[in-house]
Amino acid sequence: MKIMRTILSPFSGLYKVITNWRNYFYDREILKSHSLDIPVISIGNITAGGTGKTPFAIALANILVERGFKPAIITRGYKRRSKGQVIVSEGSGPIVSAPESGDEPFLMAQQTKNVVIIADADRFAAGKTAQDNYQSDIIIADDCFQHRRLHRDVDIVLWDAYSSPFDEHLIPKGRLREAFGNLNRADLLVFTRTDQPATEFGSFFHDHGLTCFTAPTDITDVKTADKSIDQKYLRGKKLLAFCGLGNPEQFFDTVKQLEPAKLQATTFPDHHKYTRAEMEKIFSQFTQDGCDYLITTEKDRANIPANYSGRAELLFLSIEMNIQNSLIKEILDRI
């Protein structure tokens, strides 16, 4: 690992130069940001890999609906089969398939109501459609911290509470999309998967001028009407966990919290589309190892062939983000 990091260090230096120049051009308005007529809340991260952006966007959208807003979520729809702009939901669930929308927008459409979901690499164009065609009065821009073409009123950066900022490096040496110094563009930092981040982590981000909050999570089972999982349910069981995520260790750590007797872990690339052959291999490994359950994420469910997703031994875990009232107030005060 140390050898690889040494080899990749020059490329990380080049990456830093490129990203810093790009940010310089936006900061000096050589490259222009475009504003909508309605407030924009950006949810992003500074690392490549999962920090919980999708469950955070879902939770925030649902809270805004409860408070009388008409929100829209705009998102890139990474690795979707379609091109251009796709209306994923007009507020009543998905109106296109998961391959057309992308797994994350499809999940957002499933778990929100009265929320418009639009997939488009051009976030400004997506926001214009939501504003002009659907009369949305507030935008949640998913994975938008680096997408500076769209002006935002609130910039929220998420950080996995179990990842140490002291161990991170710029791509490709590490997972950082930008140098930590660029966090000065953010308004708020939210630690996910915890109600109490490590003190030294909080101090690190506070030193970068960020107001920090936390967003604890609940684990639910999609097959039991989204009821929270009783830890006793899987305690002492033999599990085979698999996923296609940017940060698979985050998912495996979550499963470990359920205290299985044995955990086999298999990883695939982020947003992986599972083939029938791959699913047969997974189920064969499950039988061979004498496991009690297969377990994966709800995001992965959208990428699994339909005839496998109904198998009784396959569990889909959903992560529900708990956004505290103090954080909601902080967000709304800024718009």
Asked whether residue 67 is domain-assigned, the answer is yes
Asked whether residue 324 is domain-assigned, the answer is no
Would you state the pLDDT for residue 191? 92
Burial class (CB in 10 A: 0-12, 13-18, 19+), 275: exposed
Asked whether residue 233 is domain-assigned, the answer is yes
| Residue 178 sits in the same domain as residue 230 | no
Residues 181-218: pLDDT tens digits? 999 999 999 998 888 888 889 899 988 888 888 888 77
Q: 243, 135, 173: which is closest to 14 by C-alpha? A: 173
| Residue 189 sits in the same domain as residue 285 | no
Alpha-carbon span 166 to 169, nearest angstrom: 9
Confidence of residue 230 (pLDDT cuts 50, 70, 90): low
Would you state the pLDDT for residue 224? 61
Would you state the pLDDT for residue 194? 85
| Residue 131 sits in the same domain as residue 280 | no
Alpha-carbon span 148 to 141, nearest angstrom: 11
Q: 248, 246, 245: which is closest to 263 by C-alpha? A: 248
Alpha-carbon span 264 to 211, nearest angstrom: 38
Kindly report the CATH number assigned to the domain that includes residue 250. Answer: 3.40.50
Q: Number of structural domains, the chain?
A: 2
Burial 44-56 (b: 16+ CB within 10 A, else e): bbbbebbbbbbbb
Asked whether residue 191 is domain-assigned, the answer is yes
| Residue 123 sits in the same domain as residue 155 | yes
Confidence of residue 23 (pLDDT cuts 50, 70, 90): confident
Q: Which residues contact 80 (CB under 8 A, 6 or more apart)?
A: 86, 99, 100, 101, 102, 105, 119
| Residue 33 sits in the same domain as residue 178 | yes
Instruction: Give the H or E element holding residue 8.
Output: helix 2-27
Q: 45, 326, 70, 35: which is closest to 153 by C-alpha? A: 35
| Residue 205 sits in the same domain as residue 222 | no
**In percent, how much of the chain has pLDDT > 90?**
62
The residue-averaged pLDDT of 172-181 equals 90
Cα 214 to Cα 9, 26, 58, 217, 218: the distances in Å are 32, 30, 16, 10, 13
Confidence of residue 228 (pLDDT cuts 50, 70, 90): low
Asked whether residue 332 is domain-assigned, the answer is no
Would you state the pLDDT for residue 309? 81
The residue-averaged pLDDT of 306-310 equals 84
- Token code pair at residue 279: 């699913």
Alpha-carbon span 57 to 18, nearest angstrom: 29
| Residue 79 sits in the same domain as residue 198 | yes
In whole angstroms, what separates CA 332 from the centre of its chain? 21
This prediction's pTM: 0.88
| Residue 206 sits in the same domain as residue 222 | no
- HEC string of 40-108 equals EEEEEECECCCCCHHHHHHHHHHHHHHCCCCEEEEECCCCCCCCCCEEEECCCCECCCHHHHCHHHHHH
Asked whether residue 252 is domain-assigned, the answer is yes
Confidence of residue 223 (pLDDT cuts 50, 70, 90): low
| Residue 86 sits in the same domain as residue 188 | yes
pLDDT for residue 47 is more than 80: yes
Q: Which residue has the higher pLDDT, 4 or 321?
A: 321
Would you state the pLDDT for residue 267? 94
pLDDT for residue 297 is more than 60: yes
Range of the domain at 185: 2-211
| Residue 13 sits in the same domain as residue 75 | yes
* Interstrand relation of 154-160 and 138-142 (parallel, antiparallel or unpaired): unpaired
Would you state the pLDDT for residue 294? 92
Do 94 and 110 meet the contact criterion of CB atoms below 8 Å apart? yes
Residues 125-163: pLDDT tens digits? 999 999 999 999 999 999 999 999 999 999 999 998 888
Asked whether residue 82 is domain-assigned, the answer is yes
Q: Long-range CB contacts (< 8 A, 24+ apart) of 92-100?
A: 98/302, 98/303, 99/273
Confidence of residue 51 (pLDDT cuts 50, 70, 90): confident
Alpha-carbon span 67 to 264, nearest angstrom: 43
| Residue 248 sits in the same domain as residue 150 | no
| Residue 197 sits in the same domain as residue 224 | no
The residue-averaged pLDDT of 95-124 equals 96
